[in-house]
Every structure is written in C-alpha cells, then in structure tokens.
Amino acid sequence: MPERLQKILSQWGVASRRQAEQLILDGRVQLNGSVAQLGQKANPEIDHIEVDGQPLQPANRPELVTLLLHKPLAVLSTCHDPWQRPTVLELLPQPYQEVGLHPVGRLDSDTTGALLLTNDGRLTFCLTHPRHHVPKTYHAWVQGHPAETVLQQWREGIILSGRPTLPAEVRVLERRLGNQPQTHLEIVLREGRNRQIRRVAERLGCPVVHLHRTAIGPIQLQPSGEPKLPQGSYRPLRLTELEFLRNLIGIIFGDSNSRVIRKECQV
C-alpha cells in the first residue's frame, strides 16, 4: 500500500519523520529517478527510492532498536553537527550507529538525563507529537526559594508564547540556604515546548541552575532498587518498558500487534 515518503523513511530508520521531511525538501530523496516532492506517496516494495544516492531496499530494512541513554552535559541531541560538536550517537558503539538510530525529541546541550534513541519512526511520532502527552519527569535546581503561590502558578500553567502551558506537577525536594539559596524541584510535564522548564522558571523569577530528566513515562534512569545508569551510558529497555511503548503505539495507531523492538544489536 502506498504511503507518504517521509513516513516510509522514518519506518526504515533513515530519520525521524520531521527529519525525513527536511531530507525531501533539501532534494536529497529521489523517487523512481526523479527528485521527490513532499507529500508524494510510494510503495517501497514496488517503487525505487534513493536517499543521497543510496537505494532504500526492503530486504535491508534494519531491525527496530530502542535504547535509553543518560545524556551528559555539552552533548547534542542530534545525529550530526556541522560544527563537529559531540552528539549522542557518538556515545554508542559503531554497530548502533549504522542502524538509523535517532534521538526521540531533544534535551538541550546544558541539560542532562534520560533520552530515548530509536530507529522506529512510529515510536518517535507517538512520543513527540504534542497531543499524546507522555509524561516526562525532571529534577531542577532553581535559584532562590520560590513561594508556594509561585509553584502553584507553575502547576496551573502560565502564558508562554501566547498560549497557556498544560498543568504540571511540581513539588519541592530540598532547599539550600546560604549566600546563594537554591531549591531542588521535581517537575512532571505532559508537553515539551522548546526549553519550557527554563523559560517558565525564568518567567516566575527562579531561573534554572541545573536541569536533569529522570524519566520518560515509566522508563527511568534509576528503576526502583537498581543502580543508576551512569552518564554517557546506555541500556536496552526492559520488558515492562517495551510493553508501555507497545501499548502506546497500539492506542494511537489502533495496532494491537505493534512491535517496538525486534532484537538488540550485537556489540
């Protein structure tokens, strides 16, 4: 059955759907010998598709892989950086770099923590589309000791770029006194606007000192009773985590037999 080219490219692990759209717009994709246009449909079993001159062959479709990475500071959540800055893919062994993995969403260079890497385009769509509201948990150190009324504003939502943020869970974990008082907050968001936590904290008068993501849904850097995944390290997902993702895909796409992973790369 014909499908949009960007969807095919994401399913084949070439790029996320948004990145695939940019590949098409940049003229790097050909369909049956002609430069592809955004919105064109194709059947990879019949049509000849090339990306940067390399044919897309059904027999070469990579197995689906999803990993949890603990992103360190100063590493970019992208597959390639023209200025040669370190990227998350460089933290993985070479076999993983060759199966079309890409980060699911982004963490800023100055933010650490949980980041999923996958070559499953449907999973990327499910986890990053604004209407799906997958909760993400953050720990943030902010300047000062924000009052309860300020934290309640955060919980209820504030106007950001002309529209209100969704309600958030915000609770105080610790307060530090001294010449530079700080507060340690746990924040659960169900949306992911650009630098949202930093922008909201700045607006409320308690700028972020350090931001760290601890979990994406039930997928945690430190599952209960287990050691924390070290910075710069990765792991395959556990069965319960895979089941969460399968259920999410099944709900959104109406596919009860969704597959999230076939196997882990041999490294």
Residue of 108, 110, 120, 255 marked catalytic: 108
Q: What string of DSSP letters covers 28-79?
A: -EEETTEE--TT-EE-TTTS-EEETTEE--GGGPPPP-EEEEEE-TT-BSSS
> What value, to the nearest 5°, has the Cα angle with vertex 221 and ends 128 and 267?
90
Pairing of strands 136-143, 182-189: antiparallel
Tell me the three state secondary structure of residue 113. strand
Contact 165, 196 (CB under 8 A): yes
Task: Give dist(CA 41, CA 37) in Å, integer.
Answer: 9
DSSP 87: B
CA geometry: angle 123, 96, 113, nearest 5 deg: 65
**pTM of the predicted model as reported, rounded to 2 decimal places:** 0.79
Q: How many residues does the chain have?
A: 267
- Whether 100 and 15 have beta carbons less than 8 Å apart is answered as yes
What's the rounded Cα separation, in Å, for the pair 51 and 62?
A: 15
Give the helix ranges, DSSP H, for the chain.
5-11, 17-25, 94-97, 121-128, 148-156, 196-203, 239-253
Q: What is the pLDDT along the chain (267 residues), one digit of tens a residue?
A: 678 898 788 777 687 777 889 999 999 999 999 999 998 999 887 899 999 998 887 666 778 889 999 999 999 998 888 899 999 999 999 888 777 788 998 899 999 999 999 988 778 888 887 777 899 999 999 999 999 999 999 999 999 999 999 999 999 999 999 999 999 999 999 998 999 999 999 999 999 999 999 999 999 999 888 889 999 999 999 989 988 988 887 777 676 555 554 444 444
Q: Is 108 assigned a catalytic role?
A: yes
Return the DSSP state at 237: P
List all residues 6 or more positions away from 55 whose beta carbon is below 8 Å from its beta carbon.
Answer: 48, 49
Domains of the chain: 3-60 (3.10.290.10), 66-130+219-253 (3.30.70.580), 135-216 (3.30.70.1560)
